[in-house]
RNA sequence: GUGGCUGUAGCUCAACCGGUUAGAGCGCCAGACUGUGGCUCUGGAGGUCGGGGGUUCGAGUCCCCUCAGCCACCCCA
């Protein structure tokens, strides 16, 4: 041992969430979960990976994410070996994909989930919830994976809070989601809540609009960027999303003005609802979003604190997704927030290490450190005592590093323990312990049997052992 | 995938126009009449100067390549 092998770093675009950061994560996750429950959403946990096919069907084959950002999985180590060492590792996650139908008994290709919606709808269908429940309101919190170049507010493994209301076409479903968003950001202390809103129509009215855009843009095709020239044929609609070509597309008629009667009515209802709820919003005719499943309402929640990736969250309606997955003609909508982005937008005073340390010290003020002199007897007694205290419901700690008594005290002080119990040969012989109250600097001897009672005020009632 | 910036101890940073054993603060460990924290003092551990190659008598300092991080494009949470 002792060779100069250094382990690889955490993979690009991933991050370790260290104990002092977990404090802030918990705050976001708990706040979101509690709020979602209050809004009638219940937690659903789906797998971190699914059949690749599911995502292709859900988000759309031509989607950026499906086309080049998926993390493909080899179903087993064996499958990868069978794929052969000759396979050129052609950069990117696809290098590890099993050659179709090859290996692992022809298992279907799998992919790490790049979003929640597809898996949620899959679960809804798979368990027949469209039949037994109709309406299903669920939320999920967890990691998602996208093979992208990392930057501010963008990781390869990132985390979302996701809500979905499946089985309803009612515009009030979107409104409920937007109200939730407003409450969540408020609860997290993120200022300047705003909604960017648009309607992108439905299967009836969008194709016509798409053709119109194409017709209008065809004459100036050469002035568009390469990307948009390709989009013109595939999905002219997305040209609206391009910032490079913004000046050439500025005069296009907004989709929201080309809606069919049903979509127009729906959009009007959403807008009226926002006004009713007093939610500040702005129509953004360029908001189209990158997944094919969206219909009608789409929205985003921007923040000035984020940098280029300025959406804290977003979502919308996807009335075609359930039927496209073989289900009944039921509408649905959903929304997602990026947890990393929420953290970025929150006040550093609430998410920083100082806040975590303060929380840690507050908790430790009621905790006990059991210090012992170096002899075997006291050290064994410390183990026994610390276990007894823990079983009585107290947070208790002791030294595992072989520190001197002085160093143990120093450690206890630094960590903010409110109490230190000291055991040495003398106390041990008399069946006593020394109890030191750190803040006051008071110390007293007492019979070991009385220790728990003396510390009792610090013990939460519920944690006390039942008699 | 493309572009820009950055890369020296665990952390934040020094090191003049290339010149001797690469420094500081914080943190960590240990001591200050031998069983006791916070202050102070003293000492100590810890660096292949991201990696490789080149130029040079000599490179942390210059050049090339590479890797990583950050930011931006793109896309999105």
Residue A424: CATH number of its domain: 3.40.50.800
SS3 A196: strand
Return the minimum-mean-pLDDT range out of A57-66, A150-159, A173-182: A57-66
Distance (Å) from CA A387 to C1' B36?
22
> How many percent of chain A have pLDDT more than 90?
60
> Which residues share a beta bridge with A282?
A196
Write down the residue that tokens 């002219």 correspond to.
Answer: A236
Return the minimum-mean-pLDDT range out of A154-163, A200-209, A242-251: A242-251
Distance (Å) from CA A401 to C1' B31?
18
- Please choose, from the candidates A141, A267, A253, A248, the residue with its C-alpha nearest in 3D space to the C-alpha of residue A202: A267
* Domain of residue A452, residue span: 365-463
Distance (Å) from CA A414 to C1' B42?
21
Which structure tokens are listed for A190?
A: 């993120």
The reply to whether A248 falls in a domain is no
Residue A103 has pLDDT above 60, yes or no: no
Q: Give strand letter and number of the nucleotide nearest A418 (CA to C1').
A: B37
pLDDT band at A30 (very low <50, low <70, confident <90, very high): very high
The reply to whether A402 falls in a domain is yes
Distance (Å) from CA A246 to C1' B2?
20
The reply to whether A218 falls in a domain is no
Give tens-digit pLDDT for A32-66: 999 999 999 999 999 999 999 999 999 888 888 98
Note the strand B nucleotides within 7 A of protein beta carbons: 1-3, 28-31, 35-38, 48, 68-77
Q: Give strand letter and number of the nucleotide nearest A312 (CA to C1').
A: B77
Distance (Å) from CA A382 to C1' B44?
30
- Is residue A167 within 8 A of residue A173, CB to CB? The reply is no
Q: Give strand letter and number of the nucleotide nearest A151 (CA to C1').
A: B71
Distance (Å) from CA A226 to C1' B39?
68
If one compares A2 and A25, the residue with the highest pLDDT of the two is: A25
Residues near A366 by beta carbon (within 8 Å), at least 6 away in sequence: A394, A395, A418, A458
Report the protein residue whose CA lies nearest the C1' of nucleotide B28: A411
pLDDT band at A98 (very low <50, low <70, confident <90, very high): very low
Q: Give strand letter and number of the nucleotide nearest A426 (CA to C1').
A: B35
pLDDT band at A81 (very low <50, low <70, confident <90, very high): very low
What phi and psi, each to the nearest 5 degrees, are found at residue A230? -70, -40
CB atoms within 10 A of CB A235: 17
The reply to whether A408 falls in a domain is yes
Q: Give strand letter and number of the nucleotide nearest A427 (CA to C1').
A: B35
The reply to whether A405 falls in a domain is yes
CA dist., res. A397 & res. A390, Å (int): 9
Residue A301 has pLDDT above 70, yes or no: yes
**For position A92, what pLDDT does the model report?**
42
Q: Is the ipTM value over 0.90, yes or no?
A: no
Residue A240 has pLDDT above 50, yes or no: yes
- Is residue A215 within 8 A of residue A232, CB to CB? The reply is no
Residue A235 has pLDDT above 90, yes or no: no
The reply to whether A122 falls in a domain is no
The reply to whether A319 falls in a domain is no
CA dist., res. A329 & res. A295, Å (int): 14
The reply to whether A383 falls in a domain is yes
Residue A136 has pLDDT above 80, yes or no: yes
Write down the residue that tokens 């907004």 correspond to.
Answer: A254
- Please choose, from the candidates A408, A412, A369, the residue with its C-alpha nearest in 3D space to the C-alpha of residue A389: A369
pLDDT band at A246 (very low <50, low <70, confident <90, very high): confident
Residues near A219 by beta carbon (within 8 Å), at least 6 away in sequence: none
- Is residue A167 within 8 A of residue A322, CB to CB? The reply is yes
**Which of A3-12, A58-67, A160-169, A223-232 has the highest average model confidence (pLDDT)?**
A160-169
| Tally of structural domains, chain A | 1
What stretch of H or E contains A178?
helix A171-187
If one compares A108 and A181, the residue with the highest pLDDT of the two is: A181
pLDDT band at A133 (very low <50, low <70, confident <90, very high): confident
Torsion sign (Cα): A197, A202, A208, A214: positive
């Amino acid at each position: 041992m002792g060779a100069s092998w250094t382990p690889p770093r955490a993979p690009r675009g991933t991050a370790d969430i260290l104990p002092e950061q977990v404090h802030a994560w918990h705050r976001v996750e708990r706040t979101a979960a509690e709020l979602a429950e209050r809004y009638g959403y219940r937690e659903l946990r789906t797998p971190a990976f699914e059949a690749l096919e599911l995502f292709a069907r859900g988000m759309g084959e031509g989607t950026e994410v499906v086309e080049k950002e998926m993390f493909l999985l080899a179903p087993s180590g064996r499958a990868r070996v069978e794929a052969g060492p000759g396979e050129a590792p052609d950069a990117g996650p696809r290098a590890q994909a099993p050659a179709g139908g090859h290996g692992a008994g022809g298992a279907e290709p799998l992919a790490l989930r790049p979003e929640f919606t597809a898996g949620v709808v899959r679960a809804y269908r798979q368990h027949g919830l469209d039949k037994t429940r109709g309406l299903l309101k669920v939320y999920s919190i967890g990691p998602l994976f996208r093979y992208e170049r990392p930057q501010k507010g963008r990781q390869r493994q990132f985390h979302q809070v996701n809500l979905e209301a499946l089985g309803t076409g009612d515009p009030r479903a979107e409104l409920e989601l937007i109200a939730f968003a407003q409450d969540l950001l408020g609860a997290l202390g993120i200022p300047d809540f705003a909604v960017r809103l648009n309607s992108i129509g439905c299967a009836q009215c969008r194709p016509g609009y798409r053709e119109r855009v194409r017709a209008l843009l065809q004459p100036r095709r050469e002035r568009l960027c390469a990307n948009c020239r390709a989009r013109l044929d595939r999905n002219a609609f997305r040209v609206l999303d391009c910032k490079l070509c913004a000046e050439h597309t500025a005069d296009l008629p907004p989709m929201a003005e080309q809606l069919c009667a049903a979509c127009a009515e729906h959009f009007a209802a959403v807008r009226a609802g926002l006004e009713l709820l007093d939610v500040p919003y702005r129509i953004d005719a360029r908001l189209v979003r990158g997944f094919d499943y969206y219909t009608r309402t789409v929205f985003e929640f921007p923040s000035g604190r984020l940098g280029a990736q300025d959406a804290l969250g977003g979502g919308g309606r996807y009335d075609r997704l359930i039927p496209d997955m073989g289900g009944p003609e039921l509408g649905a909508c959903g929304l997602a927030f990026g947890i990393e982005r929420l953290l970025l937008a929150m006040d550093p005073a609430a998410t920083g290490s100082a806040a975590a340390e303060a929380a840690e010290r507050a908790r430790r003020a009621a905790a006990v450190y059991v210090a012992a002199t170096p002899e075997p007897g006291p050290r064994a007694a410390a183990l026994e005592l610390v276990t007894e205290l823990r079983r009585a419901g107290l947070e208790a700690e002791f030294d595992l590093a072989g520190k001197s008594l002085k160093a143990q005290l120093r450690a206890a002080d630094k960590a903010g323990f409110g109490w230190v119990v000291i055991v040495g040969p003398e106390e041990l012989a008399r069946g006593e312990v020394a109890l030191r109250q750190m803040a006051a600097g008071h110390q007293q001897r007492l019979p070991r049997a009385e220790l728990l009672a003396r510390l009792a005020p610090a013990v939460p009632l519920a944690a006390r052992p039942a008699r």
